[in-house]
Structure 1
């Protein structure tokens, strides 16, 4: 039976099961990412899908999400997006709460469509050329209207990585893995992936198949806006989007072998409680029975007999274990953002359910021309360095302790 508060909490909801069965009667088998998203979606979105969305339009949208957007693969960093470099390194500002919430650009509904959430997908496909297999080739999609004038604010990061923000994360987490309490070597992991920073740029939103448009198919505008506002305009390179992990925990995190559920942040922002959950993985399949109930929960280990231990108590880290993160300075070294952790809680589960976490990087035949090189922002001494994604994310240098 599904847990009432763990990774399978949504799967025991009778209304969700009934709505999923209604969709199953219409569509049968669908792509694995769409299957995972529907089982984890906000219930009002699921009601809309089951009650009114045209079947052909949904099928097209789900195909786009799997083959074009590659939502789960992108979250698992199995889909590399080009990263632009800047000639002059930039400093990353300390994120401050915005007085005016920003809404991510979203598609303009078509009056001819009965499904506003999906209409941009249909509009964007008109006039596209197709290959012999019937899949579309890369043809620019029609521009979509931005959600509000404020969404055109300048996106401040240049696309590079920030060593100064990484150092703040090291200091906040006291040069230890927040899960195992192990010391060096420690790596800094992104909550919202660095490789998806390009999806925050207005120019990247000009298509009905953008990453953020796809999220709106399954989760409410309020929820998606909150996720977006936690990143915009400063992007991925802020301390609140970083977390310190030992190398094996970082590797398991990248494969969605576990997820962290946000519980609560203290009023003074100095303490954050999270809950650890191992996630079982599924082999990737092109199609999945829509009514197949997902299985995610496992107790004391991850896929492939992976385990983590608290080095201070020598106890195995198990699902449901609560972990406390602290900071001495919530302004300079803020704790991980609750909304970003919530986004991770949903999308790590989507990744595990869809089988995207264990896919090889070239599974979907990405272009060899994609650029994996990132440029660091200028550090506090005014130096800018260039590193590859792998070198930055797996940096095992022992940093000098103060």
Structure 2
């Protein structure tokens, strides 16, 4: 049986199963991404979605359809959805905004209405204008060397080794929150936006924490970067494994995380899944397609449940990965894995502007 604190923990919640049974009675089978989100979403949000399905089933079906077709949250998260603009300069720092400052005065802050699937609580995610979308290719990712400086800090913090395998160079700097999503905050005003869809499955407080962890600072910050060997980096992008944040020390100099392989899923090319179909993420010492990783210090396999400690000698200049971003990854990597949407039907159109694989 799967560990109750591992990647399948949510599947064993009796309240979740009760709500999903009621949702199954109200709705037909769903697209894989919506189905996956329901198995990981906050219970309070699941209750709201059930209320919508029971009172306005057609609206609920349209919303769940949009999760897959319009927002495309998994392709967006796994860096396979091309950004709407070529702008790449990180945003200038500013104070994260309280979503309530732009709340419609006629709508209670935490209220739920049947119209939300079409306009997923636009005002409740901090709004901030991105930089001009007219950046040239020569300005890619940075002006004034910030990109190089930040990656050098990550390299120093991780001691020029892969945080998982402990192997030395060549390694690659990987993003937790994808570089290709650097302008995703500009989609808030669109119906079915990435952040709006997240707000329908997870609480306002949780999603706002994720949002404010990456914006307005942008993707090119040390706390959004980790050092991985090339094959681990590719497995990471394909959601073959996920990292669960466990604890951060009071002095911010040590972060404990847990590694879990995420097994391949049979719903890769399935159009609909029965809501009550229980997902499976059970895996022990390897991921999909016989993917394996080894600790190069002792020649042992890296297995699910393995605990890894990350350290820094300077939490100000070289901060550890942000706990909130790792939590976001923990949820969305698992959604990607069980929905099957992390595996593209073709992988022949990698865009350099979306690339995340600079070797160090």
Q: TM-score range by the shorter chain?
A: 0.7 to 0.9
Q: Deviations over 1:53-93 (max 9, x none)?
A: 4211111011111111111111111211134337xxx6877
Structure 1 contact 154–233 (Cα < 8 Å) conserved: no
For 1:382, the equivalent position in structure 2 comes to: none
Q: Say whether the 8 Å CA contact 2:118–2:192 is kept in structure 1.
A: no
Hey, what does 1:267 align to over in structure 2?
250
Match of 1:247 among 214, 221, 230: 230
Post-superposition Cα deviations, 1:109-140, rounded to whole Å, max 9, x if no partner, equal: 998xxx8366244369xxxxxxxxxxxxxxxx
Counterparts in 2 of 1:49 and 1:145: CA distance versus 1, 3 Å? closer
Which of residues 115, 118, 123 is equivalent to 1:122? 118
Question: TM-score under structure 2 normalisation?
Answer: 0.87
Using the alignment, how far apart are the partners of 1:305 and 1:208 within structure 2? 39
Contact 1:156 1:233 in 2 (8 A): no
Q: C-alpha separation between the residues in 2 aligned to 1:165 and 1:36?
A: 35
Mapping of 1:195-206 within 5 angstroms? Answer: 195-201=180-186, 204-206=187-189
Counterpart CA distance in 1 for 2:232 and 2:27 is 38
Displacement of 1:51 after TM fit? 3.0
Counterpart of 1:146 in structure 2 is 123
Q: Which runs of 5 or more residues in structure 1 are unaligned?
A: 125-143, 375-388
Alignment correspondent of 2:62? 60
Q: What is the TM-score normalised by the length of structure 1?
A: 0.78
Structure 1 residue aligned with 2:8: 8
Give the alignment of 1:344-359 within 5 angstroms.
344-359=329-344
Give 2:221's match in structure 1, choosing from 225, 238, 256.
238
Distance 2:114 2:301 in 1: 44
Match of 1:223 in 2: 206
- 1:319 paired to 2:317: no
Alignment-derived partner of residue 82 in structure 2: 80
Aligned length: 343
CA distance in 1, matches of 2:71, 2:113: 16
Q: 2:246 is paired with a residue of what secondary structure?
A: strand
Quote the Cα distance in structure 2 between the aligned partners of 1:55 and 1:362: 36
Structure-1 separation of matches of 2:91 and 2:104: 32
Separation in structure 2 between the aligned mates of residue 106 and residue 44 of structure 1, nearest angstrom: 23
Q: Secondary structure at the match of 1:65?
A: helix
Distance 1:395 1:153, change over 3 A: closer
Match status 1:296 vs 2:281: yes
How far residue 284 of structure 1 moved from its aligned partner, in angstroms, is: 3.1
For 1:24-173, list aligned pairs within 5 A: 24-53=24-53, 54-85=56-87, 102-103=98-99, 116=112, 119-122=115-118, 146-147=123-124, 151-153=126-128, 155=130, 160-161=141-142, 162-173=147-158
Task: Please provide the CA RMSD for this pair.
Answer: 2.8
Q: Does 1:395 align with 2:358?
A: yes
Alignment partner for residue 276 of structure 1, among 259, 264, 289? 259
